[in-house]
């Protein structure tokens, strides 16, 4: 196994070269989490677009949500349907900066929780590699599904009755789009993928595919000093609204970093039942 050096890196290619939407046709993806096999289960249908926001919610004095919902993002090539139900994406001995990522899933009013929403997360590791790469599959799910035993840094959990969720993970590294020639490749900004599945009171399925990015601050810059450049030149991060860039924090007495990612789906509170 090789390690991808974080620096120096060539300047990323223009944004259009980083867009991977065409790599994977969403309508052709089977989405089945481990243990969820019923045709009526929200994970059994292909993902569709939705909205999301990060780092808290903003509501004015009239109770109007100012944050709004966000556009969807690319699913990316590293989706697999073999997903464990766990919020421990990273084991205690996983290399990298460990991160506690918490949040809530809300309807579009930024207040009504979507209890029971299935929140799926997956990401690269501290070397900029996905579990697919460690399995010798450089092009992700285009080369087939991983077995559950091969998966790492991915999982799903149902949101609580108040819409809450949390994942124990690490800060992902940036990674080259061309793993076969990383020296000349454009790099993606560090990010974590999310898919959210929820059925309303009429049993209609709602789905969100999005990506969470990292706002530049003193913490993230200690391990990704070129975070500004990576965000500016990345096909997803460069067009993402500010609310999807989370601020990392920690305390003097802890080596654990923390972040908040609240997801607001484009769903009317009237269908929450």
Query: Each residue of 113-170: pLDDT tens digit?
Result: 999 999 999 999 999 999 999 998 887 777 778 888 899 999 999 999 999 999 999 9
Q: What is the per-residue pLDDT for 242?
A: 83
Tokens (6 digits) for 254:
């802890």
CA proximity to 142, closest of 187, 188, 75, 83: 75
Q: What is the per-residue pLDDT for 68?
A: 75
Q: Which residues contact 262 (CB under 8 A, 6 or more apart)?
A: 53, 54, 55, 56, 57, 103, 104, 105, 106, 110
Q: Give the pLDDT band of residue 61 (cuts 50, 70, 90).
A: low
CA proximity to 17, closest of 160, 132, 188: 188
Q: Is residue 41 part of a domain?
A: yes
SS3 223: helix
What's the CA gap between 97 and 108, in Å, rounded? 33
Share of the chain above pLDDT 90, in %: 58
What's the CA gap between 175 and 182, in Å, rounded? 8
pLDDT average, residue stretch 164-186: 92
Contact criterion met (CB below 8 Å) for 18 and 237: no
Contact criterion met (CB below 8 Å) for 262 and 117: no
Which residue's entry shows tokens 């990273």? 90
Structural domain harbouring 74:
15-266
The CATH number of the domain holding residue 21 is 2.60.130.10
Q: Is residue 255 part of a domain?
A: yes
Identify the residue with better confidence: 161 or 14.
161
Q: Is residue 72 part of a domain?
A: yes
What's the CA gap between 265 and 260, in Å, rounded? 16
Q: Give the pLDDT band of residue 27 (cuts 50, 70, 90).
A: very low
Contact criterion met (CB below 8 Å) for 29 and 46: yes
Q: Give the pLDDT band of residue 236 (cuts 50, 70, 90).
A: very high
Contact criterion met (CB below 8 Å) for 146 and 80: yes
Secondary structure (DSSP) of 19-53:
--GGGS-GGG-----TT---TTSGGGS--------
Q: What is the per-residue pLDDT for 197?
A: 97
Contact criterion met (CB below 8 Å) for 104 and 112: no
Stretch among 53-57, 100-104, 119-123, 138-142 having the lowest mean pLDDT: 53-57
Q: Is the pLDDT of residue 225 over 90?
A: yes
Q: How many distinct structural domains can be found in the chain?
A: 1
**What is the average pLDDT score of the chain?**
80
Q: Is residue 272 part of a domain?
A: no
Q: What is the per-residue pLDDT for 141?
A: 73
Q: Which residues contact 5 (CB under 8 A, 6 or more apart)?
A: none
Q: What is the per-residue pLDDT for 82?
A: 87
What's the CA gap between 219 and 232, in Å, rounded? 19
Q: Give the pLDDT band of residue 224 (cuts 50, 70, 90).
A: very high
Q: Is residue 1 part of a domain?
A: no
Q: Is residue 237 part of a domain?
A: yes
Q: Is residue 271 part of a domain?
A: no
Q: Is residue 225 part of a domain?
A: yes
């Amino acid at each position: 196994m090789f390690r991808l050096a974080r620096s120096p890196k060539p300047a990323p290619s223009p944004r259009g070269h980083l867009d991977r939407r065409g790599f994977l046709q969403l309508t052709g993806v089977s989405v089945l989490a481990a243990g969820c096999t019923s045709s009526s289960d929200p994970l059994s249908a292909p993902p569709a677009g939705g909205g999301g926001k990060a780092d808290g919610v903003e509501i004015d004095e009239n109770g109007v949500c100012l944050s709004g919902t966000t556009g969807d993002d690319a699913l990316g090539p590293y989706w697999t349907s073999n997903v464990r139900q766990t919020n421990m994406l990273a084991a205690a001995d996983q290399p990298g900066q460990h991160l506690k990522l918490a949040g809530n899933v809300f309807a579009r009013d930024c207040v009504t929780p979507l209890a029971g929403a299935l929140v799926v997360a997956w990401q690269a590791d501290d070397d900029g590699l996905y579990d697919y790469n460690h399995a010798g599959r450089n092009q992700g799910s285009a080369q087939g599904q991983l077995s559950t035993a091969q998966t790492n840094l991915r999982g799903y959990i149902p949101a609580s009755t108040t819409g809450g969720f949390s994942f124990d993970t690490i800060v992902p590294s940036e990674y080259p789009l061309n793993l076969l020639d990383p020296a000349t490749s454009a790099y993606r900004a560090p990010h974590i993928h999310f898919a959210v599945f929820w059925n309303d009171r009429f049993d209609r399925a709602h789905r969100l595919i999005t990506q969470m990015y990292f706002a530049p601050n003193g913490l993230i810059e200690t391990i990704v000093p070129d975070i500004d450049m990576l965000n500016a030149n990345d096909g997803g991060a460069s067009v993402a609204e500010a609310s999807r860039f989370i601020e990392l924090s920690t305390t003097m007495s802890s080596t654990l970093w923390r972040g908040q990612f609240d997801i607001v789906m484009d769903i009317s509170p009237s269908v929450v039942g």
